């Protein structure tokens, strides 16, 4: 008697089917992984849209513009603030200023002729114990093609970074800023630096390059630091602070004589009569 029906599968066929199945699964997973990677890259890639560039920092202040007057033992400086472009940073700075947080704080670091950093109750620029985790020190970084670290720019210093597994895959991270700030003076615009700035011949890049060359600033901080204000009065005070004599010890960039921020007043700009 002859039995009918499908023939038993040989071990070789089973291995072949298993191999083909695994290949199909691997191909599907690879495709999904690539699609996910591509989506993440599109979402998080930090590309500056040069079409959105506006050199707002060189515009004359208008009546009603939000300003901050920084009183220091070296003199007063007035900054125009940009709440419409860097709202979280401006709000944090104003809240701290109006609460008296900056009264009696230090200018704790000077890179001679390049910048000064201030706003710390500690002469060395350290945050108080446990302060780093507070909301005022975890303000998300705000970058914009309208604000650049030109000479006189008021910027937020970074307090920390975080990177999730998925952001690590695409080389991205969350950056937070806080109470301490930096005011840009300028690097020396040597011919070599000018040539480097002009390497990108696209229209937008050329606009920014020429602005740095004409007005000064710290171009290597571009789109790496939150800019939320611009100096409009007190340029001689900026020069005096960034030109201050330093302690002189290795890696100690504190002014030799303390420069104290006595208060920061928030108000609005009033045009001359």
Query: What CATH number did the domain enclosing 260 receive?
Result: 2.40.100.10
pLDDT (0 to 100) of residue 173: 80
Same domain membership, residue 29 and residue 62? no
Same domain membership, residue 111 and residue 245? yes
Neighbours of 107 (CB within 10 A): 25
For residue 239, is it within any domain? yes
For residue 228, is it within any domain? yes
- What are 162's strand-pairing partners? 174
pLDDT (0 to 100) of residue 10: 47
Please state the φ and ψ torsions of residue 138, each to the nearest 5 degrees: -130, 50
Same domain membership, residue 20 and residue 122? no
Tell me the pLDDT band of 243, cut-offs 50, 70 and 90. Answer: very high
Same domain membership, residue 200 and residue 68? yes
- Print the domain residue range for 16: 11-45
What are 62-104's pLDDT values in tens digits? Answer: 999 999 999 999 999 999 999 999 999 999 999 999 999 999 9
Same domain membership, residue 38 and residue 92? no
Give me 53's structure tokens: 């560039």
For residue 195, is it within any domain? yes
What are 137-158's pLDDT values in tens digits? Answer: 999 999 999 999 999 999 999 9
**pLDDT higher than 90, residue 23:** no
Same domain membership, residue 98 and residue 32? no
Predicted TM-score (pTM) of the model is: 0.80
53 with 207: CB under 8 angstroms?
yes
Which helix (H) or strand (E) covers residue 143, if one does?
Answer: none
For residue 112, is it within any domain? yes
If you average pLDDT over residues 24-39, what whole number do you get? 43
What are 58-71's pLDDT values in tens digits? Answer: 999 999 999 999 99
Domain count, the chain: 2
Same domain membership, residue 75 and residue 27? no
If you average pLDDT over residues 119-129, what whole number do you get? 90
For residue 4, is it within any domain? no
**pLDDT higher than 60, residue 3:** no
Q: Report the percentage of the chain scoring pLDDT > 90.
A: 67
Same domain membership, residue 62 and residue 117? yes
Same domain membership, residue 39 and residue 135? no
Tell me the pLDDT band of 2, cut-offs 50, 70 and 90. Answer: very low
pLDDT (0 to 100) of residue 12: 57
DSSP per-residue letters across 2-31: ---SPPPPPHHHHHHHHHHHHHHHHHHHHH
Please state the φ and ψ torsions of residue 271, each to the nearest 5 degrees: -75, 155
Please state which of the ranges 6-10, 34-38, 129-133 shows the lowest mean pLDDT: 34-38
Which helix (H) or strand (E) covers residue 214, if one does?
Answer: helix 203-215
Same domain membership, residue 246 and residue 232? yes
Per the rule left: phi > 0, alpha: psi between -120 and 50, beta: everything else, 152 is left
Closest CA to 46 of 192, 167, 151, 200: 167
Same domain membership, residue 65 and residue 37? no
pLDDT (0 to 100) of residue 95: 98
pLDDT (0 to 100) of residue 43: 36
Same domain membership, residue 71 and residue 177? yes
């Amino acid at each position: 008697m002859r039995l009918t029906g499908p023939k038993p599968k040989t071990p070789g066929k089973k291995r072949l089917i298993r191999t083909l199945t695994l290949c199909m699964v691997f191909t599907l997973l690879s495709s999904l992984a690539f699609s996910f990677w591509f989506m993440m890259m599109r979402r998080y890639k930090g590309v500056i849209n040069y079409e959105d560039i506006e050199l707002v920092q060189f515009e004359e202040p208008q009546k009603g513009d939000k300003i901050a007057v920084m009183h220091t033992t070296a003199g007063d400086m007035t900054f125009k603030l940009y709440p419409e472009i860097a709202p979280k940073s401006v709000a944090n700075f104003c809240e701290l200023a109006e609460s008296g947080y900056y009264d009696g704080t230090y200018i704790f670091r000077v890179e001679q002729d390049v910048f000064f950093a201030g706003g710390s109750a500690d002469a060395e620029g350290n945050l108080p114990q446990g302060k780093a985790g507070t909301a005022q020190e975890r303000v998300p970084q705000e970058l914009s093609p309208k604000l650049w670290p030109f000479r006189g720019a008021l910027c937020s210093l970074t307090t920390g970074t975080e990177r999730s597994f998925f952001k690590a895959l695409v080389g991205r991270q969350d950056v937070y800023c806080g109470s301490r700030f930096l005011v840009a003076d300028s690097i020396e615009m040597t011919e070599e630096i000018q040539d480097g700035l002009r390497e990108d011949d696209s229209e937008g890049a050329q606009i920014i390059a020429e602005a740095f060359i004409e007005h000064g600033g710290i171009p290597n901080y571009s789109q790496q630091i939150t800019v939320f204000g611009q100096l409009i009065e007190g340029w001689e005070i900026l020069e005096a602070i960034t030109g201050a004599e330093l302690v002189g010890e290795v890696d100690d960039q504190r002014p030799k004589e303390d420069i104290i921020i006595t208060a920061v007043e928030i108000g609005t700009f009033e045009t001359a009569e």
